[in-house]
Structures are given as C-alpha cells and as structure tokens.
Structure 1
C-alpha cells in the first residue's frame, strides 16, 4: 500500500492543494507558511502513534491479556495521554487539523468507556471470537473484538510456509485465550450477551471444522475463494484441531452457565448519551435518538403507503424466481447503477468504482430461505448496490490512503459508524430522489421498506441499551414494524443484528442518525454555497465528502462548511 508523508508539512501541503482547488468552501484546510513551520501537528501525530501502541493489549504466551490487572494498568495510563493531548498548542490550526485532534480525543474516550462501562472482555462472551473468514463491509469489525484477529481472508491458499508459521502460532494461542476468558467472564451476569452471544463461538467452531475439511469459503474486497489446509504442516493442522476442540468446549461451558445469568446487558441511557457525544461525535442523546428514529419510522411507513397508492395501476414488482433470471437482472442493474452514478453527476468516476461492486453481486436464495434483504434484492438489486457504497469506501481506503496520519488508519471504537452506515443508508434515498428508479417506480417502495426496517431495528436497540427491553422483545418489535412481514422476529438475521447493536452502543441507530447528519451537512453546505453566490454541485460535495476520509459526519461538516455559516438553531 502506498504511504504518504505523515508530518504536518506533508498533510498541510496536500490540504493547501485541496483548498486551492475547492476555493472558499474549503476554508478549513487552508495552510500558511507560518503554520507549515509549526511543530504542533507533528506532536499530535507522534502522540497518536504512541497512543495506538498503548491501546493494544499486552501479550502473554501468544495471547492478548485482558485480565483485571492488565485492564487496571490501561486505566491508570489514560490520564497521561489526555494531559499530553490537552497540552498540544492548537492556536492557528486549520479545521482539518483540529478535526484530527478531536479524533484522537474520541479514541481516548472510547477506551475510557470500555474500561468503565462496556468492559467487553469481562461481560461479553462473543468478544472472545478470534477467527474471521469474511471481510466486513465497513472499515473494521462492527462490534468489539479481541486482539489479534485471525483474518483468514487476508491469506492466499494453499498457504505459503511463512503464513503457515504465523497461523500456527495464532491458532495455538486460542486454547489458552479461551481459558483466560472463563476467568475474565466469571462475574458477568449480562443475560442477553450470554444467551445470544454464544452463537458467535459456535460459528467459530464451525469455521474451524470447515477449514479442516477444506470446505471453508473466505470473502474479501476482491471476491471469494476456498480456504483449506492442503499442504499444511503438521504443526498448523494440530493447532487448528486444538483450537476447534477448545472452542467447542468453551461453547459447552457457555451453554451450561447461561441459564444462571439474570442481569441486564445494556449500558443505560446516561452512559449511552455520553458515548454518542464523546466517542462517536454524534450530537444526540438517547432521548433525541428515540424521537428521531420514531419519526423516521413513521415517515417511512406513511410514504410507503403513498408510493403504493401512486403505483396502484402498475403490476406488482415480483422477485426473480430462479438463479439465471437473478444473475441477468443483477448484472444489468449493476451496469445501470454505475453508469447512473457517473453520468448523472453523483460521484466522480474512479477505476475501482465498478470493480469494488462486482464481487457483491446478488446471489440467488430459494424463496423459502429468504430473509429481509433477499426479499428486496431479488426484486431490485440496485437497492443494495446503493448501500454497498461501503465497498467503494473500502476500495478508496486501499487505493487512495488519506494524507493525514490519523485518518489513514481505521478509527477505533467504530467512531466511523455515522459516516459508513449512516451515509450508506442515506445514499439509498439520495439516488432514489436523484432519479435512479425512474424506470422502475415500484422500486421506490423498496427504499421506504428498507428505511422502515432500519428505523425499527434501531429504535428497538435503544430500548435494549436502556435495559427496558430484552433482545427477544427487540426482535418482535423489529418484525412487527418491518413492512410486508419480511423480517422474522427470531430468524438468524434479526437476532444477529440485535446482538450486534447491543454489543456496540450507537451502531444500531447510526444507520438513521448518520443519514440525518448527512442531510444536515448537505443542507448547510448548500446554504453556504447559496450565500456565496455559487451553484450547488452534488458531485463536488461528494468529492469533498469522500476526500475527508472515514470519520464522523459531524467532523466532515466541521471541515466542509465555513465556521461562519449559521447553524440550524442548535
């Protein structure tokens, strides 16, 4: 991967070029000769590197140490980083540099919250999953995970000898790591995390068994391939077998312990609100998000009925009924989608644009096995192609790493969720309003169904975090308020989603709150353009939005909208 100069001078030089190209609207990244000589930003970059080294857990016998003493040492070291960050002089910094300072503070707050409140290593059995066959569609795992992640999708099979040695060491550490987990979790009483989280360990055991059998498929940005142990050393084969046996034994222990767990699993309203503001940089409280998600749920249902009324004379939009039909539809709609983005001035063309979406082409699911998203994609694949902006983001991060040494690395604690999930959700509605479905009006109904589903599941997650509902109640609510009966209360997708949103506060609502924050950014950006006597160009906004990196939408707004632009009453 190409690397960029990580010093203040390199970052400012690139920012100055961007400022020259974008004009007054990019006032937040204008540099000056005096600033270029400053050492303040260099101090921030140095602190960030040291912070990331500190944040990583200590290793004992090849496994990360999440024991009580190790975590107490982490807690004791936080104040020194906070003090050093506060001592860095920021007078005269650009908005871009101030955003980077804010991002480092958010990461420190994230570990603080984990140590004080979330404590996944001491409450959450799913935290102890180590083996990951599939690349997630967002910058990092969408819930807390332990270190190191054994990312099988990053390896080429058959395995090279050097890779076999690395994996043998990592798999060999799993039995000891799971033995540590039993000690760390001994005081946990978080019922839903235990009852639902055990499935994550079952999945790990199954993946290891499939790896041994040569039937495991791994997926990444570039596509999918088979992972197997053909030609593997005896040491690697033995390590995989022992890791599988240890995982299966850990599952049995979890199943035996789960019936005795009776306590709540959410973080509570006050903690949730603090986390949104200080870690994810979302300017809403728990109560705010309840109101916003309820409004979006009502809007989605009401607008769906109006769309159905408007389309009442049209034939129903039926799903593809066989693989060949779906394959043809998916290929045709992918070409239509990419052409629309470029030709209609939505986003700038890039070499990786279509390439990043091809591996995500819809796969046929028999009617009796379809869960929510399959009901949608078998009718109109472009709905998920819009949300698959995720994969365009990942390709951009790979091919165009950010100039900032802080933004070049994936932010911790899922600080990026309003930008990743929120924008991907907002993009579904954006391209609809821009005319994507003018040739298929019934597809507009699907946009509102998707929005209703995300609002329902996010609203349910808020009540779970407040310890007012169980995950079972959340699933029932999600199913009740997803139109057309396309979500099952207890199907594997619904239970996976609600567990994820319990494990990672703020994630379940980020689809909606992040969409609303992008609406706010677009509004304020367009207003500033109007005041400056300049035309609004969506492609230019999207260029600047993408160039800002995978950071919270509020932070992007801080850069893109001049500080003198009036707010909206906040």
Structure 2
C-alpha cells in the first residue's frame, strides 16, 4: 500500500504543480479579491480533516464520523487539485509586498494539506490518530441533562465506530506510532495534557473510561451500557494493537527529502534540515555555557525551591504576572490593548506520587519563564490579539514556528531587557528552557528523517537537558513526531528568526529604531511565517526568493 500511495503521490503532485512558474510570482488572471475568496473556500474544504468525529450534528450519518476511507481521501485529493489550479492562476506579480506575502502564506497552507494527504496520512499510518479521539469525552463532568447529555450519548456511541474505522483504515502503521498509541491507552505518564486532577491518575485512556464508569454508576445508571460498550471498544483496540504489533514495520518519519520539502514549501523556512542541526547545536553550546556562568554567579545565593502549596504557588504566579505587566508598560516593550485582562496561567498546581516533572520543576520554582512564553506577552496574549484580527487572511493563519518562535524569543530577550533584574536566579531557569528547546531540534529532525527512534530521541534529549524526566521527554518526542513536521524545531529556529529580524530592523533604522514599534509592527503582521513578516517589515527578499519556485513532493 505504501508503494501504491507513493506512485499516486507522484501523479497527483505532477498535476498539482503543473504549469507553476519557477522563481517568480505568478502572472495569471486572479485578483487579490479572488485570493481572499479562494482562501475562504480552502478553509471550508479543510475544516473536517483534523479529527475523526463531529458530534455537533445529531442528524449526521454514522455518528458524525469523518470518512477517511481510500475513496474519500481520493476525492479530497481531487478537490485540492481543483482549488490549487485557481491558486496558481493569480496575478501576484502585480500586487504589493504585503499581498504577495499573504499569497505565499496561503500557498503554504495548500502545500501542507497536500503533504498531509500524500505523505503524513495519519489515518492510515498512526494508530494514535484514533486513540487520541477516545480520551476527552471521559473528562465529562457528571451529572448531565438536556442537550449536554444528548451530546455525551452521541460521543459514547461513536467510540466503537471510531475503533472499527481504525481497523479498516490503518493499512500502513508505523511501529513507533503503534507503540505510542498503546502506551497512551494503558499508561499514566504523570505529565498532564489538561487532564482533570486525580490523586492517582488513571492508567491511560482505558483507565479514564474506568474512572468515568465509576462516576456514572450512581449518577447515570441508564448510561452504563453505552459507557461499558465504549470501554470495551477501547480495550479491544488495545488488544488489536498488541496482537498486530509485529506487523507494524513502517517508518514513522517522513524521510529526509520529504522533510526538507516540507520545511521549504509548507513552513517557508530558509533552512535545510542539516542547517537546522548546525544552528541548534551552536545554540545549545551558547545556552549551556551561559547556564554554567549563571550558576557560578549565583553560587552563594539560597537555591530556589518549588512551591509546596497551591497558595504559595498562586502567590508566585501573581507576583510574576504583576512584574511582567508593569515591566511591559514601564519599559515601553509592547502595546497591551485595553481588552487584555486576566490570562490565567499555563500550569496548575498538582502533587504527583512520582514527584515533579521537568515543567513543574521550573514552573513551581518561579513562573516567569513560562509566563513570558505562554501567557503574556506570549501565547495567550498572542492568541487574544489574533482573535481581534479581522483580516480575512492574516487573522486566520497561525504558523507554528511563528507562534513558538515568538514565545521562545520572549524568554531570554525580556530577561536581557530587564524583567528579571530583581530575580537573578530565574536566569538559570530561562536557560534551562532554552537548553531543552535546542535539544529538541536534532531529536525532531532525527525522528522525521528516520535516523532516530522515539526512545533514541528521548535518550538524546535527556542527555542534553538537566532535570528532564523520561515522561516529559517521551511526550515531547511523541508530540513533535506526530504533529505535522517542523513543529518541534519551531521554538529554537523561530527564536533565531526573531533575533535575526530584530537585528536587521535595528541596523536598518539605526537611531530611529524603537523596540515597542518593532514589537507592535511584528504583532500587527499576524501569525504568518516569520520569513514573510521579515520581508514585509524590512523589504529584504533574500530569504523568500526561492519560495516562488514550486516543486513536487519527492518520492
């Protein structure tokens, strides 16, 4: 089946990319308004592909399951080819830079979708694609009534159908993917993933069905047959994976040539995967040496210790949030719109029998590193600004390297701008975050190029990162192997791009450079790939010239 799909990939790509001009913007007939309309059509086309089940429509056939059978995927390929023909027939050469950048960002979305259909194919290659969909419904708070209860019943009824679809569609599973799915079905890892708190976490997805069953027994006895059927289906999936594990011999990564294609065409990154490794290794050297120097400077200070109570932890969060917000305004770092209120925090207080994991080791000592990255002015702040961006293209694209690069950039850059002047030891925690993210890059590249197994990636990251535990490293490896390629590298490489853009713009403007204006301009550009934002902000096109060339996905 894999050989058949590769053959079909070559045929489809020759159609998708036929006639596209090399190295120059297209000079077709379509207007910018046509691009906006096409992007709307593309989003409508793309919408159902992320998850296997849609429970919102009670009249949807087959429990609302999205069809991932070979005929359905062939139909989606044909539809994408038709949309792509419209995209290639745009008169982009006559548009201003900002609109040309939007065209490339939209085209990258098309290329990412083509790669999903032709190479990644999680519905055919990743048993976890189906296992993931079984978990969230077990978190449902009981009791239920009305439409909430009806929705829950539809979700439960879909579980056996999801497992049946898995058995039908998984014709080329990768061994590492199957092992990860089996682990998630049966094992509590102590990392979290937004799970409700339990003093003793249930053992994987199947354990959460047992937790649900115990909670429903006295509150909803009428639901017990459906819950039992869903639990039995999850257990059956575990048994099916165990029985067939020896036959799951496909490689999990996409391969070196395909990965480099994806970096260029879908991520619009001006680096090859070999260059990513060189960059990240040098970044690891820099960060670890600075970490050692910070430890020496702080050697006579009392060690930071993790919060022991929820009250103490919340006090530290409040102090970090207050310090960061006051700093952003006082030092004129970035505009904070009036609609930005409380943004909560990224890590709840929790006690675990096995002790703190890596993230908690840092976060419970001091929340500043993660608060900068994930709350303000990082992800939550960033996402809120995007929610208020009504641009028909820029307000609806989120590039992962842009999002994670911005968050990672904020950690060390805000420290150097002075946010931690009264928190000397937190510098060490900032470096620990950066060290881990730099270690991710060779691991991510290695897994995607099939040069590392998941366990080898885990061992590599742990060897390079203080405090990193097995569970967090395994979850990281799983996330970045199973997401579309290029996400795990986004933190460190996006940070490189951010620092490069800051340097380019400061050198370009000289004495007229204003940091707040730089950050505001960057945020106003939306969450397009950073290479496009750099082109728009500086006029420098050296990083984007090659992106006009369209090439077929390698076999």
Same fold (TM over 0.5): yes
**1:229 Cα deviation from its structure 2 partner:** 11
User: Would you say the 8 A contact 1:57–1:66 is kept in 2?
Assistant: no
Candidates 284, 291, 307, aligned match of 1:320: 307
1:487 equivalent to 2:468? Answer: yes
Give 2:133's match in structure 1, choosing from 130, 133, 149: 130
Distance of 2:149 and 2:90 partners within structure 1: 44
In 1, distance between residues paired with 2:227 and 2:501?
Answer: 49
Q: Distance in 2 between matches of 1:213 and 1:547?
A: 49
Is the alpha carbon distance of 1:212 and 1:79 closer, same or farther for their aligned partners in structure 2, counting shifts above 3 Å?
same
Contact 2:317 2:345 in 1 (8 A): no
| CA distance in structure 2 between the partners assigned to 1:151 and 1:249 by the alignment | 17
- Kindly indicate whether residue 491 of structure 2 is the aligned counterpart of residue 518 of structure 1: no
Aligned pair partner of 1:497 in 469, 476, 480 = 476
Instruction: Provide the rounded CA distance (Å) in 1 between the counterparts of 2:421 and 2:303.
Output: 16
Offset of 1:64 from its aligned partner?
A: 0.9
**Alpha-carbon shift at residue 313 of structure 1 (Å):** 3.4
Superposition RMSD on alpha carbons, in Å?
3.0
Aligned equivalents of 2:65 and 2:472: distance in 1?
31
Q: Give the alignment of 1:330-369 within 5 angstroms.
A: 330-356=317-343, 358-360=344-346, 362-365=348-351, 368-369=354-355
Look up the match of 2:182. 198
Q: Distance in 2 between matches of 1:41 and 1:567?
A: 23
Which of 153, 164, 168 does residue 179 from structure 1 map onto?
Answer: 164
Describe the shift of the 1:525–1:309 C-alpha distance in structure 2 as closer, same or farther (beyond 3 A).
same
8 Å contact 1:117–1:267 — kept in the other structure?
yes
- Aligned: 1:48 with 2:31: no
Residues 52-201 of structure 1 aligned to structure 2 (within 5 Å): 52-56=43-47, 61=62, 62-128=64-130, 129-131=132-134, 133=136, 161-188=146-173, 190-201=174-185
CA contact (8 A) 1:266 1:466 kept: yes
8 Å CA contact 2:156–2:226 kept in 1: the answer is yes
Q: In 1, distance between residues paired with 2:523 and 2:384?
A: 12
Structure 1 231/319 Cα, relative in aligned 2: closer, same or farther at 3 Å? closer
TM-score normalised to the size of structure 1?
A: 0.78
SS of the residue 1:43 aligns to? helix
1:307 corresponds to which of 270, 275, 294: 294
The answer to whether the 8 A contact 1:419-1:551 is kept is: yes
Residues 381, 116 of structure 1: alpha-carbon distance in 2 compared, 3 angstrom cutoff? same
Q: What residue is the counterpart of 2:521 in the other structure?
A: 544
CA contact (8 A) 1:280 1:552 kept: yes
Q: Return the alpha-carbon distance in structure 2 between the equivalents of residues 512 and 459 of structure 1.
A: 11
Q: Distance in 1 between matches of 2:172 and 2:135?
A: 27
Shift of 1:76: 2.7
Q: What is residue 448 of structure 2 aligned with on the other side?
A: 465
Cα deviation for residue 67 of structure 1 reads 1.2
Alpha-carbon separation, structure 2, partners of 1:378 and 1:367: 16
Question: How far apart are residue 331 of structure 1 and its match?
Answer: 2.2
SS of the counterpart of 1:64?
coil
Give runs of aligned pairs for residues 376-525 of structure 1, distance below 5 A.
376-388=362-374, 389-398=378-387, 400=388, 402-411=389-398, 416-483=399-466, 486-488=467-469, 491-504=470-483, 505-525=485-505
| Counterparts in 2 of 1:175 and 1:324: CA distance versus 1, 3 Å | same
Bigger drift between 322-331 and 517-526 goes to 322-331
- Number of residue pairs aligned between Structure 1 and Structure 2: 485
* 1:514-552: CA deviation from partner (whole Å, max 9, x where unpaired): 11111122122222322xxx5222222222222222222
Structure 1 residues 405 and 443: alpha-carbon distance in aligned structure 2, compared to 1, 3 A threshold? same
Q: CA deviation at 1:122?
A: 0.7
User: What is aligned with 1:560?
Assistant: 537
Cα shift at 1:271: 0.9
Please identify runs of 4+ aligned residues in structure 1 that moved more than 6 A: 150-153, 228-233, 566-570
Q: How many angstroms apart in 2 are the aligned matches of 1:567 and 1:55?
A: 28
Query: How many angstroms does 1:318 deviate by?
Result: 3.0
The 3-state SS of whatever aligns with 1:173 is helix
Distance 2:244 2:255 in 1: 24
CA contact 1:464–1:502 (8 Å) conserved in 2:
yes
Are the aligned partners of 2:534 and 2:540 in contact in 1 as well (CA < 8 Å)? no
Shift of 1:376: 1.1
Q: Alpha-carbon deviation of 1:418?
A: 0.8
In 2, distance between residues paired with 1:361 and 1:470?
A: 29
Alignment of 1:207-226 (within 5 A): 207-214=208-215
Report the CA distance shift for 1:343/1:160 in structure 2 as closer, same or farther (over 3 A). farther
Compared CA separation, residues 340 and 446, structure 1 to 2 (3 A):
same
Deviates more, 1:179-188 or 1:196-205: 196-205
Distance 1:449 1:127 in 2: 32
Match of 2:255 in 1: 268
Following the alignment from structure 1 to structure 2, what is the Cα–Cα distance between the partners of residues 410 and 159?
36
SS of residue matched to 2:415: helix
Residues 291 and 431 in structure 2, CA contact (< 8 A), matched pair in contact too: yes
In the TM superposition, what whole-angstrom CA distance separates every residue of 1:231-250 from its partner, at most 9, and x where no partner exists?
Answer: 8795x775554333322321
Residues 410-441 of structure 1: per-residue CA shift (max 9 Å, x gap): 55xxxx11111121111111111111111121
Between the aligned partners of 2:233 and 2:350, the Cα distance in structure 1 is: 35
> Which whole-Å CA distance do the structure 2 matches of 1:184 and 1:424 have between them?
37
Q: Distance in 1 between matches of 2:392 and 2:229?
A: 40
- 1:289 corresponds to: 276
**Counterpart secondary structure, 1:104:** helix
The aligned residue for residue 551 of structure 2 is none
